[in-house]
Amino acid sequence: MSERERVQRDRLTDSDGVAVESALVGEELELRYPTSTEPVVECARLDVPEGAVTALVGPNGSGKSTLLKALSDQLDPASGTVTLDGRAIESYDRTELAKRLGALSQERESPGSITVEDLAYHGRYPHRGVFERVDQADHEAVDRALELARVEHLRDAELAQLSGGQRQLAWIAMVLAQETDILLLDEPTTFLDLHNQFTVLETISGLNEREGTTVAVVLHDIEQAVRFADYLVALRDGTLYDWGPPGEVVTEQLLADVFGVEADVSHDPELRITPRRALADDRP
């Protein structure tokens, strides 16, 4: 199987060929954890276009979450820079950053007795002074977040009483209450049943459509990514395999190279992926 020649794009363009502004840009990134000797991710340039939904896809261990951590300033790059609106992300004050950029990581822990509503109020943290009381704006933001995440009826329920999916939605409500114009979500649909997966994805694309929220989301399911995202970033073994609008990026070659799956890709006119079989593991 020959290595496909990767498409090199200096500037992302939309369907009309107009250049797209990026909210977040990662340049010459090299990411590693303190415990690892090898870099986990190396990537020359990564764009998260403003006002669009970008999905990071790739197999387990391809560096999607690591990349997202770097974009949300949770992980300092070993080299390279992440810029938010053209300014280095580490130069932002923590509160200032938290007002612009909401991040939901996979590793979440909470005391079981916290209620959904109390969790959502924590999302207001960057908007409140140290000794400030909650005000009307906070109440409204929380109400709206609970409604968007469709957990309003669970407002007073304690997290420990909820199913895994409901708990996930409660966390999403928290990050929505933060009212940021950029959202970085690490596998928000994993472990959810189909109904709640779609709840989350519809919430995200709804926010994006109505308020122009910039979203970068790690998704496991390539078909969902194709359906809900404006741009795909495909990662393999810690490197960027390809990125761009799903129609351009998703090919049979990509599915074989990145996911190790033989599949048919058809455009009729919507992009459709029909997986056939898993390929042998000795792919290049």
Partner 1 sequence: MGESPRADATTTTGRGRSLVTGRLVSLCLVSAVVTVAAGLVQVAFGSYPTTFGEALHILLDPAMLLNPEVWRAFLLDAELPRMSRRYLVVWNLRVPRVVVAVLAGATLSVSGAVFQAVTRNELASPFVLGVSSGAGFAVLLTLVVFTGLAPFLPLFAALGGTVAFLLVYAIAWKGGTSPVRLVLAGVVVSMIFHSLQQGLFYLAEDIGAVRSAIAWTSGSLAGADWGDVRIALIPSVLSVGLALLGARQLNLLLLGERTAKSLGMRVEAVRFGMASVAILAASAAIAVAGIVSFVGLVVPHIVRTILGSDYRRLLIGCVFVGPALMVSADAVARLALRPIQVPVGVVTGLIGGPYFLYLMRRQDAMGEL
Judged by the rule CB under 8 A, the positions of this chain that interact with partner 1 are 34, 72, 74, 94-99, 102-105, 107-115, 117-119, 122-123, 125-126, 130-131, 139, 143, 153-158, 161-163, 166, 178
Alpha helices in the chain (DSSP H): 64-71, 94-100, 116-122, 136-148, 164-177, 194-211, 222-228, 246-249, 252-259
Residue from 168, 179, 47 nearest 116 by CA: 168
C-alpha span between 110 and 14 (Å, rounded): 41
CB nearer to partner 1: pick between 66 and 166: 166
Nearer Cβ to partner 1 (164/206): 164
Q: Are 32 and 79 in contact, with CB atoms under 8 Å apart?
A: no
Q: How far is the CB of 94 from partner 1 (least distance, A)?
A: 5
Which one, 159 or 240, has the nearer CB to partner 1? Answer: 159
- Alpha carbons 24 and 84: distance in angstroms, whole number: 5
What token pair was written down for 62?
A: 């391809």
H helix count then E strand count, the chain: 9, 12
Residue 141, SS3 per DSSP: helix
Q: Which is nearer to partner 1, 110 or 253 (CB)?
A: 110
Tokens representing 149? 């995440």
For partner 1, the closer of residues 109 and 268 by Cβ is 109
Running DSSP on this structure, what letter comes out for residue 193? -
Q: How far is the CB of 9 from partner 1 (least distance, A)?
A: 30
Cα 94 to Cα 120: distance, rounded to the nearest angstrom: 19
Angle, helices 194-211/136-148, rounded to nearest 10 degrees: 130
Phi, psi of 244 (to 5 degrees): 150, -170
Q: Which is nearer to partner 1, 99 or 220 (CB)?
A: 99
* DSSP 8-class letter at 138: H
Residue placing its CB nearer to partner 1 in the complex, 6 or 33 = 33
